[in-house]
Amino acid sequence: MSQVIIASQLDEAFNAVIRERLASIHPEAQVIGVPVGVPSDLPPQANILLLRPINVRGYTAPDTPPPGWPYGAQWVHLVSSGIDFYPQWLFNGPPVTTSRGSAADNLAEFALAAIFAASKHLPDIWVKDSQWNFTALRPLKGTTLGILGFGAIGESLAHKALALGIKVVALRQSTAPFDLEGVEAARDIHDLFARADHLVLAAPLTEATRHIVDRNVLGSAKPGLHLINIARGGLLDQEALLEALDNGQIGLASLDVTEPEPLPDGHALYSHPRVRLSPHTSAISTNSKQEIADTFLANLERYLGNLELHNRAN
């Protein structure tokens, strides 16, 4: 295949990185910036589309594609790992791939940072005057980390946690043994919540997993559990979480995602004393441009070689 014309919704700084990297892979390739949102009126010569999330900040794409879709696109690459930010019709046309795994280490590090902060009482122990009061800090070694979902993020997190002497128990849809030595399989979601001191939600959001962490599951939690959500807000019943925080079943919730995003002003999660809320930033790093380019360009080489694409959307 000789012609490579990429229509990209990425920022110009991202596009510049891709153009620079393309020089050594396919010097004749072109990257054309196109507007974000529902792809429409794409350049007719473009055969690859780099697509940003569409259903965000309260916007929902129409149920039907725009006239002319998919134009000349032969392959669509999503710059996100999850597919829940896109309309269903997007997956009924050309092959769609995701950036699965590109931010796995960033997300795993963020989850560990939340665990460290909770265990070491950060930032509460910083002092501002001479009134020093000593606080016993909880060790991580010997504690149990639960992981719901065991894709690239869960595997990266488990590897890092095991190196710190943390016990890891995980649950995923597949019943196959975990490839990582030291990871124990939970019997079910109730067993997972009952055993964990810290529990990270790292599962995709689907119709089957929406509100999978509900009042019943939270009631199974080890009292005082630290719940961390770095995946999707829709996995968690937020009203049930507030109840569990108030009754002490959940000791702390570190949430990087919510439903909706952003939460409306005045929402109880903003002000609850045992909630730490961040603005869906755990996947973003100073290396994001290179990380996204790595995933896309690796697949581009497969596309040029007429090989099966990796990370096909499922």
Contacts with 77 (C-beta within 8 Å, 6 or more apart), sequence order: 48, 49, 50, 51, 96, 97, 98, 99, 296, 299
Catalytic option among 19, 215, 280, 302: 280
Mark whether 310 is an active-site residue.
Answer: no
DSSP string across 95-144: -EE--TTTTHHHHHHHHHHHHHHHHTTTTTT--SSS-----PPPP-TT-E
What six digits make up the tokens of 18? 């891709």
Q: Who contacts 126 (Cβ-Cβ below 8 Å, separation ≥6)?
A: none
232 is catalytic: yes
Residues in a beta bridge with 228: 200, 254
Which two structure tokens, joined as six digits, stand for 45?
């010569």
**How many whole angstroms separate alpha carbon 309 and alpha carbon 98?**
10
The catalytically annotated residue of 198, 226, 232, 291 is 232
Q: Which residues contact 232 (CB under 8 A, 6 or more apart)?
A: 82, 84, 204, 205, 257, 259
- CA neighbor of 100 nearest in space, from 168, 60, 58, 155: 155
The residue from 12, 20, 184, 261 that is catalytic is: 261
Who contacts 16 (Cβ-Cβ below 8 Å, separation ≥6)? none
Strands laid side by side in the 5-8 sheet: 30-33, 5-8, 48-51, 75-78, 96-97
Q: CA 87 → CA 70, 81, 248, distances in Å?
A: 13, 15, 39
280 is catalytic: yes
DSSP state, 230?
-
The residue type found at 53 is P
- Catalytic residues, which ones? 232, 261, 280
